[in-house]
Amino acid sequence: MKKIFVYIGLAAALFQASCTKDFEKINTDPTQSSPANFNSDYFLSNSQAHYINAITGYNGAILFQSGWAQVMSSTSSGAANYYSNMDKYVPSGNTNDYAARVWRTNYRGASLAAEVVKNYANNADKVNVVSAAIIMKVLHMQSITDMYGDCPYSEALKGSEGLSLPVYDKQEAVYSAMLSELEGALAKFDASKAKPSADLFYGGDVAKWKKLGNSLMLRLAMRLSKVDAAKAKTYAEKAAAGGTFESAADDAFIKGDDANGYRSENCRALATPADFYQVRWSENLVNFLKSTNDPRLSSIAEVPQDGLAANQNPALGGDNTAAIQVGLPNGWDLNGGTTDIANAPGYPGGTGSGSDATPIGKYSRPRTIVYTNLNSPQFVLTYAETELLLAEAAVRGWNVGGTAAGHYANALAGAMQSLATLSPSAAVEAAAAAAYVAANPLNTSSQDASLKMINEQYWATTGMLMNFNEAWNNWRRSGYPALNAVSYAGNFSGGVIPRRQIYPTEEATANGVNYSAGVSSLSGGDTWVSRVWWDK
């Protein structure tokens, strides 16, 4: 793994140079690095690293979607005021920059994937690397279009061809193109050909890449459930027939490598002193887990030791006893006014006294031993998510094999196994996991009851694994769980939970005509509350 990360750095340096000056010369001159004398497999690993960077840490997810989906909460005061973006929809000094990072980072990653496809276009032995790169391109592009709406796709990633002002494709067209490209890539995987030699997900395991591709196809398909049910059904059934994830052993993730500069960015954020003190699990999540005596609550949450100093010390773990966990309600602060946390309904009081007092000392934070480990895995897509999507497809009457109840039970078990992957300290004992699954079967009394249960679990599972974008994306699509917006003075969304991120500010000036066309598809314009095409 360390060797791959070293090569990622070399590939990044090469790619940055090739993007900024004399692109074609650098890629054809034999005296410089070209496809003939450079292993383009490392562009694949670099694309994988860019994808993780785009969906974790300060590139947006923990500062926006973690609170928009009300998985996490923060008092966002003082040194941690940048969390006002997520918890109160109030801009901080760098809000516009944060909002642009998903766009920028994903397009860089998609460009790296496209470079793999270009460099190996005439190399039949590299078909598996090319197919994996196409999956990476689709991952990046889904992240972009889900976040912003219409975006460059058909003319994107063609800077080397002199196309610097790409048109914005309609999101409907982007989804059709992604599904088509993904289907083509899956058909070309060939176990007899060379494996990807610099693969951060699976170490070159072609069978697992095929399962990832089909699982991604399923996620794409389900995103269309309210806007094109026929296409959603077609591709969900294709994905199931092709073979999705079969266990948590198939989960796609990248493990952090802090020693070589590739740390887990979510954990890096939560280990930052101001973040460590003020970011807590939300009241909604803690209450949801408590409502069914979910054993995962003890795995993920702890109440800090008493007093301000203990609350601010990442070296001091807390008490993870389930019964004492209290989630922090969204939308409160430490400013002493009407929105001060001490005025929140059901306020449990603080801990410590005098200069060592803290008003938020009884609220549950992410367990230190689990969520501040800079080498922890960062998840892309999991078996639990896939089984929940299959459960929903089955509820809708689609032919995806098995029953909705069976897929739901698989998802619960898989989610607990993924927590163990996140950290051995978060592992749920097998007997406790089995008992919980048995005691909490899917409610099949009506389609609505089933959809509610499935999608609430999707929200909780992705949230606890810190895939905040996906928790928010699926909430927008499904409407579950029911969330109440925060109305805080100075917010940028009119007191409504944001439904998208605004386009990067440079798009209006650098690609103005095409940007304007993209904005025209949004009812309400380029705002935080306009809805993308599939968000109905």
> Cβ atoms within 10 A of the Cβ of 321, count?
12
Looking at residue 26, what is its pLDDT?
Answer: 32
Task: Write the pLDDT tens digit of every residue in 451-463.
Answer: 999 999 999 999 9
CA distance 488 to 132: 44
Task: Write the pLDDT tens digit of every residue in 300-326.
Answer: 999 999 999 999 999 999 999 999 999
Task: Write the pLDDT tens digit of every residue in 386-428.
Answer: 999 999 999 999 999 999 999 999 999 999 999 999 999 999 9
SS3 194: coil
Average pLDDT over residues 239-250: 98
Q: End-to-end CA distance of the chain: give it in Å, rounded.
A: 42
Quote the distance between the C-alpha of residue 188 and its chain's center.
Answer: 27
CA distance 127 to 149: 31
Task: Write the pLDDT tens digit of every residue in 176-198.
Answer: 999 999 999 999 999 999 999 99
* DSSP string of 138-186, one letter each residue: HHHHHHHHHHHSSB--TTTT-GGGT--SPPPBPHHHHHHHHHHHHHHHH
> Cβ atoms within 10 A of the Cβ of 531, count?
14
Question: And the tokens for 86?
Answer: 């997520």
Task: Write the pLDDT tens digit of every residue in 471-490.
Answer: 999 999 999 999 999 999 99
Of 488, 462, 466, 489, nearest in space to 475 by CA? 462
DSSP code of residue 335: S
Of 213, 198, 32, nearest in space to 126 by CA? 198
- Rounded to the nearest integer, the mean pLDDT of the chain is 93
Q: Does the structure show a pLDDT above 50 at 10?
A: no
CA distance 333 to 278: 9
Q: Does the structure show a pLDDT above 70 at 19?
A: no
Question: And the tokens for 447?
Answer: 């389609």
* DSSP string of 440-504, one letter each residue: S----SSHHHHHHHHHHHHHHHHHHTT-HHHHHHHHHHH--S--PPP--TT-SSTTS---SPPPP
List Cα–Cα distances, 358 to 278, 283, 305, 310, 342, in angstroms.
10, 18, 11, 10, 11
> Cβ atoms within 10 A of the Cβ of 137, count?
28
Three-state SS for 367-434 is CHHHHCCCCCEEEEECHHHHHHHHHHHHHCCCCCCCCHHHHHHHHHHHHHHHHHHHCHHHCCCHHHHH
Question: And the tokens for 160?
Answer: 């080397």
* DSSP string of 267-328, one letter each residue: HHHHHSHHHHHHEEEBHHHHHHHHHTT-THHHHHEEBPPSSHHHHT-TTS--B--GGG--PB
Contact 278, 75 (CB under 8 A): yes
Looking at residue 93, what is its pLDDT?
Answer: 86
Of 136, 67, 102, nearest in space to 471 by CA? 67
Average pLDDT over residues 115-121: 95
Q: Does the structure show a pLDDT above 90 at 15?
A: no
Write the CATH number of the domain with boundaries 2-266. Answer: 1.25.40.390
CA distance 475 to 13: 38
Find the length of the chain.
Answer: 536
* DSSP string of 90-115, one letter each residue: ---TTHHHHHHHHHHHHHHHHHHHHH
Of 414, 417, 318, 332, nearest in space to 371 by CA? 318
DSSP code of residue 34: -
Looking at residue 78, what is its pLDDT?
Answer: 77
CA distance 237 to 130: 24
Looking at residue 27, what is its pLDDT?
Answer: 38
CA distance 259 to 268: 13
Q: Does the structure show a pLDDT above 90 at 365?
A: yes
What sign for the dihedral angle of Cα 517, 522, 525, 527?
A: negative
Residue 169: beta bridge partners?
Answer: 151
pLDDT band of residue 536 (cuts 50, 70, 90) is very high
> Cβ atoms within 10 A of the Cβ of 520, count?
12
Quote the distance between the C-alpha of residue 183 and its chain's center.
Answer: 23
Q: What are phi and psi of 151, to 5 degrees?
A: -160, 160
Quote the distance between the C-alpha of residue 494 and its chain's center.
Answer: 25
SS3 328: strand
More confident call, 162 vs 359: 359
User: To the nearest whole percent, how much of the chain has pLDDT over 90?
Assistant: 89
Task: Write the pLDDT tens digit of every residue in 66-103.
Answer: 999 999 999 998 777 899 999 999 999 899 999 999 99
Question: And the tokens for 454?
Answer: 């499935």
Contact 74, 279 (CB under 8 A): yes
Average pLDDT over residues 504-520: 96
CA distance 437 to 440: 5
pLDDT band of residue 21 (cuts 50, 70, 90) is very low
Structural domain boundaries of the chain?
2-266, 278-371
Contact 391, 455 (CB under 8 A): no
DSSP code of residue 330: T
Q: Which residue type, as a one-letter code, is found at position 296?
A: R
SS3 37: coil
Place of tokens 């190399």: 123
Looking at residue 34, what is its pLDDT?
Answer: 57
> Cβ atoms within 10 A of the Cβ of 308, count?
21
| Helix (H), strand (E) counts: the chain | 23, 6
Predicted model pTM: 0.93
pLDDT band of residue 9 (cuts 50, 70, 90) is low
Looking at residue 39, what is its pLDDT?
Answer: 84
